[in-house]
């Protein structure tokens, strides 16, 4: 990986880690987008972790189509657009990621082991960081299919 890509990834990772909320977009069985606000945590710099109930529509959407889009930040005119593939977690990876998630959101611990709670990890495919606070706007893209 080039030094330029490493610098872009660090800038993006530092920005993402400052946030707790994101908008997650999934695709329903009819091919229509559905968006939801989620709490998320970060593993290995750019892998996102989130939870959902198996009763929520995003869970069924993810079972049928693992492709997602995520938007993080927007309130200070800096944003990250993130596209990736989701994986429902199980086994050791579930335990590891759940610990990361609960460490970021300690109040969530009482819900972490509920029967219907499911955990997902998102592996990035493409990320764009956009800073609209400066002119000209700064945008950085990382395409993980090219790395």
Question: Which has the closest alpha carbon to 88: 26, 20, 145, 35?
Answer: 26
User: Closest Cα to residue 46, out of 80, 94, 3?
Assistant: 80
Measured CA angle at 123 (ends 66, 64), to 5 deg = 5
The mean predicted confidence, pLDDT, of the chain is 93
Question: What's the pLDDT tens digit per position in 55-83?
Answer: 999 999 999 999 999 999 988 999 999 99
| pLDDT tens-place string over residues 105-133 | 988 777 777 889 999 999 999 999 999 99
Instruction: Domain ranges for the chain, please list them.
Output: 3-143
What is the reported pLDDT for 113?
A: 76
Closest CA to 122 of 33, 31, 20, 51: 51
Global pTM? 0.92
Return the CATH architecture of domain 3-143: Roll (2.30)
């Amino acid at each position: 990986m080039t030094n330029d890509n490493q610098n872009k990834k660090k800038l993006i990772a530092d920005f993402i880690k400052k946030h707790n909320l994101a908008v997650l977009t999934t695709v329903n069985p009819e091919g229509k987008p559905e968006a939801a606000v989620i709490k998320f945590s970060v593993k290995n710099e750019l892998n996102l972790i989130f939870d959902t109930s198996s009763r929520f529509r995003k869970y069924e959407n993810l079972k049928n189509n693992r492709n997602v889009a995520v938007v993080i930040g927007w309130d200070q005119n800096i944003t990250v657009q993130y596209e990736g593939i989701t994986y429902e977690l199980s086994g050791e990876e579930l335990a590891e990621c759940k610990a990361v998630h609960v460490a970021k959101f300690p109040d969530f611990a009482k819900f972490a082991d509920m029967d219907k709670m499911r955990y997902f990890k998102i592996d990035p495919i493409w990320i764009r960081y956009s800073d609209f606070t400066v002119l000209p706007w700064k945008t950085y893209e990382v395409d993980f299919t090219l790395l």
